């Protein structure tokens, strides 16, 4: 049987940092919807797609972030300059 967890499950900051940006209930909801319920779900996570393409994922990117990868790169660059 296939592992239902995202390949990034053990390293993703959203899963593993207890105080990642929001309350625990929100974090748990994201984990239920995206992280631990099969490939179709984690494969639609913007954090997963960002890490797959860029090799890392900034904290401001959430599973349902609607920014494109280019917009994420631009925002990351802007934040790095401030």
The correct pick among 6, 27, 65, 72 for binding ligand SF4 (CB under 6 A) is 6
| Residue 34 contacts ligand SF4 per CB under 6 A | yes
Interface with ligand SF4, residue 9, by CB under 6 A:
yes
The single-letter DSSP state of residue 32 is: I
Q: Which is nearer to ligand SF4, 45 or 72 (CB)?
A: 45
**Which CB sits closer to ligand SF4, 11 or 71?**
11
Quick one: how many helices (H) and strands (E) in the chain? 5, 0
Separation of alpha carbons 52 and 39, rounded Å? 14
Task: Quote the CA–CA distance of 45 and 35 in Å, as a whole number.
Answer: 8
Minimum distance from residue 11 beta carbon to ligand SF4 (Å): 8
């Amino acid at each position: 049987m296939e592992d239902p967890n995202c390949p990034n499950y053990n390293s993703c900051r959203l899963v593993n940092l207890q105080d990642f940006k929001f309350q625990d209930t929100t974090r748990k909801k994201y984990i239920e919807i995206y992280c631990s319920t099969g490939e179709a779900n984690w494969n639609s996570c913007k954090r997963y797609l960002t890490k797959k393409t860029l090799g890392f994922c900034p904290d401001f990117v959430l599973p349902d972030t609607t920014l494109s990868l280019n917009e994420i790169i631009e925002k990351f660059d802007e934040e790095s300059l401030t």
